[in-house]
Structure 1
């Protein structure tokens, strides 16, 4: 009888465990082919690692990739495929044009199908409009937007009196145009003495040789370049700069992205290429995630917001005891949690824009307390400046509707 009673207890416990474990199915809708694939496959690996770490008694995560081919219309097609497969949570972010189309699709879908609503978790599309005039109750952004990042860069540039002549080069779509506009406005406000000696927009992911652009930068006698370029567009730009021995400083959004550190190393510009990011491997971290990720994939855990997104989503699942999008949205709005670097991130309820510390970092040979290099270059990141979360909290024009 004791054996039967004990078996019954075990059965009851196992049944309770199964009932408590919420299945969380996620569609990752980003370019998984073409020139941006390396960047987005890297992000997908980050998300899957976090899904594995967080799966347990409370939830079980399943993340499926859907290739939008870096095309806004294809993003909508893939979103519909995900919905048809029963998936109600989307993660996307490369690029802002595709994310903008997806945001509109989600809003229309939820209006027409309130009982089958979907949630859009934005990991890297940083067009400011997405949490301003185009904000949505189903959209949450886990990356600082373009204006917030530019503010961090320009505040750092303002402390560098040697910078006198700046060249702007950006991708010609919504995000690149936002970077350009923010740079022009904020330089005028914080360093009106700086002369903007070039202002270039180029097609997104279509340039194989940036040497003509680099020649223009060189001819302008710029001492610094500001760019929001990402993926191949940044790596190839830096490669051309190295080939031309262009000796400018670089102030970037994405020099920490996969492939770019190798290109930075080729320039030979030790600690003269800067990136604004949420953190890096050579900062004190709360656990061994970066080391574990390096052992598994050979590269660093260089998309910290992937952890933040998954951690905050998991908190919401546990709080709601559900993966239902409206319940998750209610739990995410206004939520806070510790970052892997010891700070606090908050999902601002008024526009669903995350607020977290931003770091301006430089890339160069390992020295002092720097332990980790990037992409086997022998160079790594170190912190040059920090902008606290409260300082990044720019005003929003969002008028958040009810979900």
Structure 2
């Protein structure tokens, strides 16, 4: 993991942590501390490690290019959220105590991220001059940039409504999809994924029948066979599921074992380790998901170049431009602000336009929702034409189905931002 330079630790110790936190100017310290808070143990630890690797690579890359403000290095602290709101809030306080000025999170689920943002709001209100920012790379609850929006929170991933709009636009051109079942984890995101699916797909295809809907406890189901039996009984030919991590792979395996041929529509499946391997093993059904990029996507030379550097340094495959982008947006805002004071950095992030490896992106000032492209794609066998790159040592890869700009997917927001 990323180790802070000893000279940075010495400088911070000499200056005193209280002095570092009390002053916004980066020129008073050698480092700017970022805390990573996401699951690093338990059933979703593989997802948390994947996210950490991307954040760590970006931080190291920024430092290799001179850091921020002409020489201030970024220092990455890591904390295990344990997929728990209480643990995450404890980690937030520990991060603040260790001098963190920004939190990077998102893989713990929307309920946990919401609790983190609320805790940051309270801390910032009580501790002017020592505020902390929350950068959310994966929790896609529209409420985070809607009714519960916060000046201190920035979402660097397309939200649930944006992703479902892209999928609905794709389903509109798939006449073979006639009966859809909604199967989701029983928490805020799972219920939103189901609700937006019913609403947006229903609008795009009024002829589609929704044949059933069920929610299950997150991370607790070991055998999805009874749920698959329900899919078969309902006559579904497609499933809208927001499941992720083991809850998705176990569902796919159970359906494959039963011989059920289904089309799955998901938000981030291919960016989770092992999903392609699972599809290649069961060889039943099609898994369609939506992200800012997918491995093997054509005409993406900047992503290809970064992915190669990532592979050489980290020894793993690059999967997520938006995670890599999150620290880079923060660094760009610090440079734009000319200081590390959190209020100034937040104002610099508002409306920030950035030429990323996936194209221009914009942090919408109204609600702090990043507008970035989305690519609908399907995990499918390599055919040398539409699927050219094999993944995870299998003969499966990704097929591009449709591409949307951030502006095309942007949704109205009812955010009423309270700014300091």
SS of 1:302's partner is: coil
C-alpha distance in 2, partners of 1:209/1:334? 46
- Give the match for residue 258 of structure 2: 244
Q: Deviations over 1:296-324 (max 9, x none)?
A: 44542112211221221121122123332
- Give the match for residue 131 of structure 1: 145
Which of 51, 67, 79 is the matching residue for 1:43?
51
- Give the match for residue 210 of structure 1: 224
Which of 330, 348, 353 is the matching residue for 2:364?
348
- Give the match for residue 412 of structure 2: 395
8 A Cα contact 2:177 2:238, kept in partner? yes
TM-score by length of 1: 0.91
The Cα of 1:139 is off from its aligned counterpart by: 0.2
- Give the match for residue 12 of structure 1: none
SS of 1:116's partner is: coil
The Cα of 1:73 is off from its aligned counterpart by: 1.1
Tell me which moved more, 376-385 or 97-106: 376-385
- Structure 2 vs 1, CA of residues 360 and 369 (structure 1 numbering), >3 Å: closer, same or farther? closer
- Give the match for residue 308 of structure 1: 325
- Structure 2 vs 1, CA of residues 155 and 365 (structure 1 numbering), >3 Å: closer, same or farther? same
Matches within 5 A, 1:4-403: 23-55=31-63, 56-59=65-68, 60-93=73-106, 94-256=108-270, 257-269=272-284, 272-283=286-297, 284-286=300-302, 288-341=305-358, 343-366=359-382, 367-368=384-385, 370-403=387-420
TM-score by length of 2: 0.88
SS of 1:225's partner is: strand
C-alpha distance in 2, partners of 1:235/1:323? 42
The Cα of 1:19 is off from its aligned counterpart by: 5.5
SS of 1:88's partner is: strand
Q: Deviations over 1:303-356 (max 9, x none)?
A: 221122122112112212333221210111001112323x22110000000111
Q: Deviations over 1:193-217 (max 9, x none)?
A: 1000111111011111111111111
8 A Cα contact 1:165 1:221, kept in partner? yes
8 A Cα contact 1:22 1:58, kept in partner? no
C-alpha distance in 2, partners of 1:324/1:247? 54
8 A Cα contact 2:386 2:399, kept in partner? no
The Cα of 1:259 is off from its aligned counterpart by: 2.0
- Give the match for residue 5 of structure 1: none
Q: Deviations over 1:375-397 (max 9, x none)?
A: 21221112111122111110000
- Structure 2 vs 1, CA of residues 241 and 353 (structure 1 numbering), >3 Å: closer, same or farther? same
Count of residues paired in the alignment: 384
Q: Deviations over 1:244-283 (max 9, x none)?
A: 111011111122112222112223147x211111101212
8 A Cα contact 2:380 2:387, kept in partner? no
8 A Cα contact 2:133 2:152, kept in partner? yes
- Structure 2 vs 1, CA of residues 364 and 149 (structure 1 numbering), >3 Å: closer, same or farther? same
In structure 2, the gaps of 5 or more residues are 1-25
8 A Cα contact 1:157 1:163, kept in partner? yes
Tell me which moved more, 224-233 or 300-309: 300-309
C-alpha distance in 1, partners of 2:216/2:184? 6
8 A Cα contact 1:27 1:91, kept in partner? yes
8 A Cα contact 2:386 2:400, kept in partner? no
SS of 1:397's partner is: coil
